Each structure stands twice: as C-alpha cells, then as structure tokens.
Amino acid sequence: MAGGITQAEYWNGEVGTRWARNQTVLDAVFAPLTEALFARAALRTGESVLDIGCGSGATTLEAARRVGPEGAVTGADISVPLLAVARGRAEAEAAGAAPIRFVEADVESADLGTYGQALSRFGVMFFPDSARAFANIRRMLHPEGQLTFLCWRALAENHWVTVPREAVVPLLPEIPQPPPSDTPGPFRFAAADPLVALLRGAGFGTVTCDAIDRDVERGRADTDAKAAEAAAHVALNLGPTAHLVREAEPDLRARAATAVTAALRPLATGGSVRLRAACWLVQAR
Ligand SMILES: C[S@@+](CC[C@H](N)C(=O)[O-])C[C@H]1O[C@@H](n2cnc3c(N)ncnc32)[C@H](O)[C@@H]1O
C-alpha cells in the first residue's frame, strides 16, 4: 500500500500519469543506470525476455533491439497510462527489433509464459508479497534462465533524493516517518543480505548483488539557475520527494519549489545538475 491505497491504484492514478508524461526526462535520468543493467544482463540474439514493471517501455524496447527479430520480449506492468505510452513507443521505434508484447499484469501472480531472461529497472520493489513474486518470476524462467534488476540502496546514499528531500522536510507540518519494513516502496531492498536471502528462498541458487553508483542528471538548461529550477521541478513531480508533497496545498508546493531550487543551485555547473544515485545491480539464476 502507498498512503492507504493499493499499488494498482497508485500507479494508475496521478503518479502513473505523471510518470507517463515525463517519460523522456526519466529515461535521460536513468540512462547511466540502464547501461549498467544491460551490460550485466548481456542479452543474446534470439533470447526471450520479460521486462518486469516495464513502465513506459524504455528497457523493453532496448531489450527488443538487443535480442533482434529472432527474439521475443514481453513488457508487464499494472499501470494502464504507462503501458499506453509504451505501446505508442513500440509502434514508433521498434523497427528491426524483436516482437514486443505489452501486457497489463501483476507479476506477483500472473503466468506470462517462459523466458530465458527476466529484467527490471526499478520495477521489483512494489510487490505486496515479494517472496511470492520472486518465486513466480523464477517459475517463468527456463531452468538456466536469469533475472537481472536494479533497485535502490539506502535513501541516505541517494543524493538525488536526499538533497531535495532535506529542503522540503522542514516545510512539512509533520516529519515523514519511514515506512514499516518490508512494505512496497523504492528503498525496500536497501539492505542486501535480506534481499539475497529472499531470492534464494524463491528458488534462485546463485545470487550476486553489486553496489553501483552513478551521477545522474536531474536538470539541464542553458544557465545553472535554470538547470536548478528544472531539477527542482523533476524532484517535486516524480519520485520520493514528490511523494512528500503529493497532497500538499499549492502554497506549500510553491515554497517547496523555492527551497529545492535554492538547495540545488550551488550544485549546478555547466548548465547541469548531477547527483549521485546508489543502486544494487542484482543477478539471480
Ligand atoms: C519505479 S517504476 C519503474 C518503471 C520502469 N521500469 C522504468 O524504469 O521507467 C515501477 C513500475 O513498477 C510497476 N509495478 C508495480 N507493481 C507491479 C506489479 N505487481 N506487477 C507489475 N508491475 C508493477 C509500476 O506500475 C511502475 O510502472
């Protein structure tokens, strides 16, 4: 649950629509992390791939390009607005790539066929029952198949969140409490040992969990001041800091924008705001 609503309601409501609208910005932010994900997955021509929580389909399309027309790719997600963007992109961009099937499905329980590879860019932290979900993913892989995914390390290590967050928290009527452990959310797998144990319990015999850090571009413009403004806009519309002000009054949102822009301004250089993102790159087979 996210603030008393189900994940399906969360990703089909205003949050899903915002993600869908900002697909280009998000793909640019995630680009260095996406590169690391695909380098590790090492997809081969002709493979079948399941993209878990595929969102607006950037990684699904990339997988389809990599496995080529002899392969097959499924993108699965519970968010109707994000799947609509993904389908539109596939029509426009998928020439020469593997056939792509986008399905509205809950990967925790759906049977979506059998795959040589499963992958996910930040789409595996939102299952109500992670043990059930990873066991289901294991069942959908060939015996020699593998799962490769990115998830976030601890919030404190992710400066792309902490910098805007620390500017917003003093403005809030209440200090936000951390979510109860093992509930759906971006930082749920911050600790590696329980994550590795979870994957082993789901039937994966070999699990690697590598820390990767990348500076991600949160805003770009022709001046540093505008880049800080752009980065503040992204922070307050998408992701964990946006979540804090999701239901706030316009006045608080305006003050938050001023505070976040001021916090990001000293970090802008050459018309760009880059902040550290800290992830686990996980592979399980
Ligand atoms: C942080 S977004 C990442 C989206 C996409 N992978 C990307 O990198 O742009 C998480 C995605 O997981 C999806 N999701 C959450 N729970 C899911 C579930 N049970 N089954 C399938 N997708 C799910 C959400 O709808 C959302 O699109």
The CATH number that applies at residue 61 is: 3.40.50.150
Given pLDDT bands bounded at 50, 70 and 90, which one contains residue 181? confident
Q: For residue 94, is it within any domain?
A: yes
Residue 159 alpha carbon to ligand 1 centre in Å? 22
Q: For residue 159, is it within any domain?
A: yes
Q: For residue 64, is it within any domain?
A: yes
DSSP designation for 234: H
Question: What is d(CA 141, CA 182) in angstroms, rounded to the nearest whole number?
Answer: 25
Given pLDDT bands bounded at 50, 70 and 90, which one contains residue 282? very high
Q: For residue 41, is it within any domain?
A: yes
Q: For residue 71, is it within any domain?
A: yes
Tokens in use for 123? 């789409």
State whether the beta carbon of 77 lies less than 6 angstroms from ligand 1.
yes
147: nearest Cα among 162, 137, 132, 158: 137
Position 5 scores a pLDDT of 87
Domain count, the chain: 1
Q: For residue 53, is it within any domain?
A: yes
Given pLDDT bands bounded at 50, 70 and 90, which one contains residue 1? very low
Q: Is the pLDDT of residue 140 over 50?
A: yes
The dihedral through the CA atoms of 178, 131, 152, 52 has a sign that is negative
- Indicate which residue's Cα is closest to atom 2 of ligand 1: 123
Q: What is the pLDDT of residues 188-208, one digit of tens each?
A: 999 999 999 999 999 999 999
Residue 222 alpha carbon to ligand 1 centre in Å? 33
Q: What is the pLDDT of residues 27-39, one digit of tens each?
A: 999 999 999 999 9
Position 167 scores a pLDDT of 97
Q: What is the pLDDT of residues 75-118, one digit of tens each?
A: 999 999 999 999 999 988 877 899 999 999 999 999 999 999 99
Residue 258 alpha carbon to ligand 1 centre in Å? 30
- Give percent of the chain with pLDDT exceeding 90: 86
Tokens in use for 221? 């413009």
CA 238 to chain centre: 11
Position 179 scores a pLDDT of 87
Q: For residue 1, is it within any domain?
A: no
Q: Which domain holds residue 146?
A: 7-284
Span 145-161, mean pLDDT? 97
Residue 123 alpha carbon to ligand 1 centre in Å? 4
Mean pLDDT (the chain) is 95
State whether the beta carbon of 62 lies less than 6 angstroms from ligand 1.
no
Q: What is the pLDDT of residues 240-277, one digit of tens each?
A: 999 999 889 999 999 999 999 999 999 999 999 999 99
State whether the beta carbon of 57 lies less than 6 angstroms from ligand 1.
no
Atom of ligand 1 nearest to the CA of 106: 20
Given pLDDT bands bounded at 50, 70 and 90, which one contains residue 3? low
Q: For residue 2, is it within any domain?
A: no
The angle that helices 14-21 and 23-41 make with each other, rounded to 10 degrees, is 80
Q: Match 């403005």 to its residue by tokens.
A: 171
